Chains A and B, each alone.
Chain A
Amino acid sequence: MSAPSDPPELPDPALQDQDKREVTGGDWIIPALGLAFTTYYLISIKDLVWEAKIAAVFVAVMLYLLIGIFALKTVFGLKRGLLKTDFSPLWETASLFRIRALLFGLAVASVAVLPWLGFTLSTFGFLLASFIWLERMPARTAVITAGALALAGYVLFIAILRTAFPPGPFELAVRTLTGI
């Protein structure tokens, strides 16, 4: 920290210039995925009659062209110093990345156990874990909130709208007891 008598710090012109540079890096992922998918798609249609692939070939060529322009723009931007490589905008901060990974991981887990636990219990488990770990909700409040939401989901989506989720222990128990 500078003392009050110190002369005011002037920003370094070189640093100022650096700040003006646009960030690139994370934005290569979508073109890379696009390139890979387009190539795979073209390979998958190579033996078809031309009528069945003409529209897709047109879109694929257009996509190659656009990705090519993007690559050229990026290379020139980097060479001219208008761009800087930085992948951090993808995850922002480490703590935020952990929170997002936890939320996504819980979502993946809830889908993975759905065939065995059914909609109501897997939703209850997902919401409960999210409320406790992400919101730091007191356990009792979390159980009541997650339970009420999972039950409401059961009534709306399964009992009323008849969504055909694989039945779990809860759905089977309700079916046995009430015939719903």
Chain B
Amino acid sequence: MEPSLGFIAELFAHAFSYWWLILIATTIGIIIGAMPGFGSANTIIMLLPFTLAVDVDVAMIFMVSLFCASQSGGGITSILLNIPGNGGSAATCLDGYPMAKKGLGQQALVLSFVASQVGGMVTAGMSIFLLPYMAKLAYYLHSVEMVVIVLFGITLIASIASENMLKGLIAGGLGLLIGAVGADHIYSTPRGTFGFLELYDGVPLIPVLIGVFAISEALIMMESRSVLSDEGLEVARRASWNETLEGIKMAFQRTWLMIWTAIVGLIIGIVPGAGASIAAFVAYQQARLYSKKPEEFGTGVPEGVIAPESANNGCASGDLIPLLVIGVPGGTTAAVMMIVMTYHGVQLGPRLFIQTPELGYGVFVTMLVAYCVMLFTTLPLTRYISRLILIPTAVLAPIIIAFTMVGSFAPRAYMFDLWLTLVFGVIGYICRRTGYNVVAMLIGVILGPLLEANVMRALRISGNDPWTFFSSPLANILWVLLIVSLLVPSLVQWNKNRRMRLQPASGPALGAE
């Protein structure tokens, strides 16, 4: 069914009539999104008694608003503390935290919120009209293509997030292997568990995230009295509403960047399992590629905050498209939503748009309204949230450790996960002090199970023929791109080193002239 404008307007009116519910859900979502370990999926699960008791349209408004807000909230701790609230905001650390260190935390938060909300609105709006066509994209990506995409993702992250690509690849490879710990997907045989029953389900992601980011960052930040440089401290102390306005201006000067990186997120989000973390890194890499000053990325540039935030919110729409159109959830939160919708008797897939189109299209209209509401509620808060980094590190670091450890424990309620967090804290600290990128390691852990599941599926389907990985034209194109992405940075570095070696030799000669 093609939606008419009148029909969409009715849906808008309906969603706006629940503004108070959207306000509550987005507030919870922002808080939850900023806390590592308390993702939107967990929160929706905890609030199931509410979502199962109310009408399905009210439940969807609540869940969708909370989901969108949690994507936006993830950037807060990435920017202020270098600790991503979720995997999707890991890329935001790369430029968000350096901005905060320069005393531009308030502007970075505004950039993050505006990019999130504009990106979310653009993709939600696009999804309404392109829904039936975009869902077909998921059909072209099978397990073979997914294997190459995962490997491509690791290579990409190793090359863009690390100063030393080799170290980035080692961190990413180690992450992939850590992600392969636990029972295998077909025979359920435990592998690499060190005999711990708690690792049979695999290495839990949240303790890794909190360990390598939060604990290690808390240890690192003790090197100075403040997170901010002396200059940054002065700038942050003088911050006023003007900084919020400046952030808004900076964001809208890059409107086109917000739009196209959101579309990148939307497309990646449609692929089931690909997720916001890949979307954010791809968008970051693309933004750097097309930038006039790519060398400034990683030092605290607005583009480095806008691209990942816009993409991970674009991905939120993409996550829901396969759920609604083909009944396959694109991510964990979408899977929880699927359970709620099925409980309410909603039939997902093409029938949804024939039987209850107001529900199918209503999801994206609610997204639009939720992002609109957030634009007005989050921006005034940036001035106050950004003051968090004025707290001395000797006070801030213990608070970070105490409260993020709760996130490690919450999902599974195992004491083991707290010890695991501390172990990964030490690993993260060593990585940071010795130039191994923790982001590459984290993404490896996220993608490890995805790689394994797809390798096994591809082999099963092909009757254990290893040539199956080179059997599709799309996969072959991706293999070529993967090899090129591995070779080009190495060749560029080799050339740079060669020139540097030649320079000192020519220096005195020039001087003598």
Q: Which residues of A contact B193 (CB under 8 A)?
A: 44
Q: Using known A-B contacts A48-B184, A60-B177, A111-B419, determine if residue A104 contacts B425 with beta carbons closer than 8 Å.
A: yes
Q: Is A41 part of the binding interface, using a Cβ–Cβ cutoff of 8 Å?
A: yes
1/0 contact string of B186-208 vs chain A (CB within 8 Å): 11011111100000000000000
Kindly state the separation between the CA atoms of A161 and B426 in the bound complex, as whole angstroms: 28
1/0 contact string of A100-117 vs chain B (CB within 8 Å): 100110111011001100
Q: Which of A4-12, A49-57, A168-176 binds B?
A: A49-57
Kindly state the separation between the CA atoms of A66 and B394 in the bound complex, as whole angstroms: 38
Q: How many A-B residue pairs have CB under 8 A?
A: 177
Q: Which residues of B contact A110 (CB under 8 A)?
A: 402
In the complex the two chains form, is A29's CB within 8 Å of B430's CB? yes
In the complex the two chains form, is A115's CB within 8 Å of B415's CB? yes
Q: Using known A-B contacts A48-B189, A55-B452, A103-B222, determine if residue A69 contacts B166 with beta carbons closer than 8 Å.
A: yes
Shortest CB-to-CB span from B27 to chain A, Å, is 13
Kindly state the separation between the CA atoms of A92 and B221 in the bound complex, as whole angstroms: 13
Q: Is B17 part of the binding interface, using a Cβ–Cβ cutoff of 8 Å?
A: no
In the complex the two chains form, is A45's CB within 8 Å of B191's CB? yes
In the complex the two chains form, is B455's CB within 8 Å of A34's CB? no
Contact-residue bracket for chain B: 35 or more
In the complex the two chains form, is A27's CB within 8 Å of B187's CB? no
Q: Is B381 part of the binding interface, using a Cβ–Cβ cutoff of 8 Å?
A: no
Kindly state the separation between the CA atoms of A149 and B436 in the bound complex, as whole angstroms: 34
1/0 contact string of B202-221 vs chain A (CB within 8 Å): 00000000000001001100
Q: Using known A-B contacts A153-B402, A163-B409, determine if residue A107 contacts B170 with beta carbons closer than 8 Å.
A: no
In the complex the two chains form, is B223's CB within 8 Å of A96's CB? yes
Q: Which of B354-362, B366-374, B456-464 binds A?
A: B456-464
Q: Which residues of B contact A52 (CB under 8 A)?
A: 184, 186-187, 189, 191, 456
Q: Is A37 part of the binding interface, using a Cβ–Cβ cutoff of 8 Å?
A: yes
Kindly state the separation between the CA atoms of A164 and B192 in the bound complex, as whole angstroms: 28
Kindly state the separation between the CA atoms of A60 and B415 in the bound complex, as whole angstroms: 30
Q: Which residues of A contact B327 (CB under 8 A)?
A: none
Shortest CB-to-CB span from A44 to chain B, Å, is 5
Kindly state the separation between the CA atoms of A127 and B403 in the bound complex, as whole angstroms: 10
Q: Using known A-B contacts A52-B189, A58-B455, determine if residue A103 contacts B398 with beta carbons closer than 8 Å.
A: yes
In the complex the two chains form, is A27's CB within 8 Å of B173's CB? no
Shortest CB-to-CB span from A13 to chain B, Å, is 12
In the complex the two chains form, is A45's CB within 8 Å of B430's CB? no
In the complex the two chains form, is A48's CB within 8 Å of B459's CB? no
Q: Which residues of B contact A100 (CB under 8 A)?
A: 219, 222
Q: Which residues of A contact B292 (CB under 8 A)?
A: none
Shortest CB-to-CB span from A156 to chain B, Å, is 9
Q: Is A162 part of the binding interface, using a Cβ–Cβ cutoff of 8 Å?
A: yes
Q: Name the contact of A135 in the complex, choosing from B181, B394, B410, B430 (C-beta under 8 A).
A: B394
Q: Which residues of B contact A115 (CB under 8 A)?
A: 415
Output the nearest chain A residue to B158 by Cβ-Cβ distance: A66
Q: Which residues of A contact B5 (CB under 8 A)?
A: none
Shortest CB-to-CB span from A167 to chain B, Å, is 12
Output the nearest chain B residue to A136 by Cβ-Cβ distance: B394
Q: Name the contact of B180 in the complex, choosing from A56, A70, A104, A111 (C-beta under 8 A).
A: A56
Output the nearest chain A residue to B421 by Cβ-Cβ distance: A111
Q: Which residues of B contact A41 (CB under 8 A)?
A: 177, 180-181, 191-192
In the complex the two chains form, is A51's CB within 8 Å of B464's CB? yes
**CB-CB contacts below 8 Å: B6-47 with A:** 38, 46
In the complex the two chains form, is A27's CB within 8 Å of B410's CB? no
Output the nearest chain A residue to B501 by Cβ-Cβ distance: A82
Q: Which residues of A contact B410 (CB under 8 A)?
A: 157, 161, 163
Kindly state the separation between the CA atoms of A60 and B178 in the bound complex, as whole angstroms: 11
Q: Using known A-B contacts A34-B174, A130-B398, A131-B398, determine if residue A27 contacts B189 with beta carbons closer than 8 Å.
A: no
**CB-CB contacts below 8 Å: A1-51 with B:** 26-27, 29-31, 33-34, 37-38, 40-41, 44-45, 48-49, 51
Q: Which residues of A contact B48 (CB under 8 A)?
A: none
Kindly state the separation between the CA atoms of A74 and B434 in the bound complex, as whole angstroms: 14
Q: Is A67 part of the binding interface, using a Cβ–Cβ cutoff of 8 Å?
A: yes
1/0 contact string of B404-427 vs chain A (CB within 8 Å): 011001100101001100100111
Q: Name the contact of B436 in the complex, choosing from A27, A59, A119 (C-beta under 8 A).
A: A27
Output the nearest chain B residue to A122 by Cβ-Cβ distance: B402
Q: Name the contact of A111 in the complex, choosing from B398, B403, B418 (C-beta under 8 A).
A: B418
Most buried by B among A63, A69, A96: A63
Q: Is A81 part of the binding interface, using a Cβ–Cβ cutoff of 8 Å?
A: no
In the complex the two chains form, is A165's CB within 8 Å of B434's CB? no
1/0 contact string of B421-445 vs chain A (CB within 8 Å): 0100111001101111000000000
1/0 contact string of A125-143 vs chain B (CB within 8 Å): 0110011001101000000
Q: Is B484 part of the binding interface, using a Cβ–Cβ cutoff of 8 Å?
A: no
Q: Name the contact of B398 in the complex, choosing from A56, A73, A127, A166 (C-beta under 8 A).
A: A127
In the complex the two chains form, is A26's CB within 8 Å of B451's CB? no
In the complex the two chains form, is A30's CB within 8 Å of B434's CB? yes
Q: Is A75 part of the binding interface, using a Cβ–Cβ cutoff of 8 Å?
A: no
Shortest CB-to-CB span from B398 to chain A, Å, is 4
Kindly state the separation between the CA atoms of A110 and B403 in the bound complex, as whole angstroms: 12
Most buried by A among B180, B419, B455: B180
Q: Which residues of A contact B132 (CB under 8 A)?
A: none
Q: Is A94 part of the binding interface, using a Cβ–Cβ cutoff of 8 Å?
A: no
Q: Is B80 part of the binding interface, using a Cβ–Cβ cutoff of 8 Å?
A: no
Shortest CB-to-CB span from A130 to chain B, Å, is 4
Sample (30) of A-B pairs whose CB atoms are under 8 Å apart: A27-B434, A29-B434, A30-B427, A40-B194, A41-B191, A48-B184, A52-B184, A53-B184, A54-B455, A55-B452, A55-B456, A56-B192, A59-B176, A59-B180, A66-B166, A89-B434, A99-B222, A104-B219, A106-B398, A114-B418, A126-B401, A134-B222, A134-B394, A134-B397, A135-B394, A149-B402, A161-B38, A162-B46, A163-B406, A165-B413
Given contacts A30-B170, A157-B410, 15 further A-B contacts (CB under 8 A): A30-B427, A44-B192, A45-B191, A51-B460, A51-B464, A52-B187, A53-B191, A59-B176, A92-B223, A103-B219, A123-B402, A127-B398, A127-B402, A131-B398, A163-B413
The 3 A-B pairs of least Cβ separation, nearest first, read A130-B398, A135-B394, A55-B455
